[in-house]
Structure 1
Amino acid sequence: MNTSVMGERRRVFRVALLVAGLAGISSFVSGCQSDPDIDISTYAQSIEPADVLYNQGLANLEAGQLTEAGRKFDAVDKQHPYSEFARKAMVMSAFTNYRQAQYTEAINTANRYLSLYPNDEDAAYAQYIVGLAYYRQIPEVTRDQRTSARAIAAFTEVVERYPDSEYVEDSQAKLRYARDQLAGKEMQVGRYYQERREYVAAANRYRLVVEQFPNTRQVEEALARLVETYYAMGLESEAQTAAAVLGHNYPDSQWYADSYRLLSTRGLEPRENKGSWISRAGAALVGS
Structure 2
Amino acid sequence: MLRSLILFLALLLAACGLLPERQEETKNWSASKFYTEAKEELNSGNYGAAIKLFESLEARYPYGRFSQQAQLEIAYAYYKDQEQASAIIAADRFIKLHPNHVNVDYAYYLKGLANFNDNWGILGIVMQNILKQDMSERDSKASRESFENFSELVVRFPDSKYAPDAIQRMAHLVNVVAMSEVYVARYYMKRKAYVAAVNRAQFALKEYPRTPAAEEILFIMMKAYEALEMTDLRDDAERVLRRNFPDSTYLTHPVEIGGRPWWKFW
Superposition TM-score, scaled by structure 2 size: 0.74
Structure of larger gyration radius? 1
Following the alignment from structure 1 to structure 2, what is the Cα–Cα distance between the partners of residues 224 and 190?
11
2:54 is matched with 73
State the Cα distance separating 1:88 from its structure 2 match.
Answer: 1.1
RMSD: 2.8
Q: Determine if contact 1:25/1:46 at 8 Å carries over to the other structure.
A: no
- The answer on 1:49 being equivalent to 2:11 is no
1:148 is matched with 143
1:234 is matched with 229
Call closer, same or farther: CA 1:195–1:59 in 2, change over 3 Å: closer
State the Cα distance separating 1:176 from its structure 2 match.
Answer: 3.0
- The answer on 1:195 being equivalent to 2:190 is yes
- The answer on 1:95 being equivalent to 2:45 is no
Following the alignment from structure 1 to structure 2, what is the Cα–Cα distance between the partners of residues 100 and 198?
43
- The answer on 1:253 being equivalent to 2:248 is yes
State the Cα distance separating 1:259 from its structure 2 match.
Answer: 6.0
Following the alignment from structure 1 to structure 2, what is the Cα–Cα distance between the partners of residues 109 and 235?
53
Following the alignment from structure 1 to structure 2, what is the Cα–Cα distance between the partners of residues 56 and 107?
24
State the Cα distance separating 1:99 from its structure 2 match.
Answer: 0.5
- CA offsets 1:195-220 (integer angstroms, 9 cap, x no match): 33322110111111111122433111
Call closer, same or farther: CA 1:70–1:57 in 2, change over 3 Å: same
Q: Determine if contact 1:54/1:89 at 8 Å carries over to the other structure.
A: yes
- The answer on 1:106 being equivalent to 2:106 is no
State the Cα distance separating 1:148 from its structure 2 match.
Answer: 2.0
2:261 is matched with none
- The answer on 1:82 being equivalent to 2:77 is no
Call closer, same or farther: CA 1:25–1:251 in 2, change over 3 Å: closer
- Higher helix proportion (structure 1 or 2): 2
Unpaired runs of at least 5, structure 1: 1-23, 31-42, 262-288
Stretch deviating more after TM superposition (141-150 or 206-215): 141-150
- Identity, in percent, stands at 29
Paired residues, number: 224
2:163 is matched with 168
Superposition TM-score, scaled by structure 1 size: 0.69
- The answer on 1:212 being equivalent to 2:193 is no
- The answer on 1:129 being equivalent to 2:129 is no
Amino acid at match of 2:194: Y
Amino acid at match of 1:76: L
Query: Which of 34, 41, 50 is the matching residue for 1:60?
Result: 41
Higher relative contact order (CA 8 A, sep 6+): 2
Q: Determine if contact 1:176/1:216 at 8 Å carries over to the other structure.
A: no
Amino acid at match of 1:92: E
Unpaired runs of at least 5, structure 2: 1-13, 121-134, 257-266
State the Cα distance separating 1:221 from its structure 2 match.
Answer: 0.4
Query: Which of 196, 219, 225 is the matching residue for 2:220?
Result: 225
SS at the partner of 2:136? coil
SS at the partner of 2:204? helix
- CA offsets 1:232-260 (integer angstroms, 9 cap, x no match): 33333332332222222222121233569
Within a 5 Å distance, the mapping from 1:253-272 to structure 2 comes to 253-258=248-253
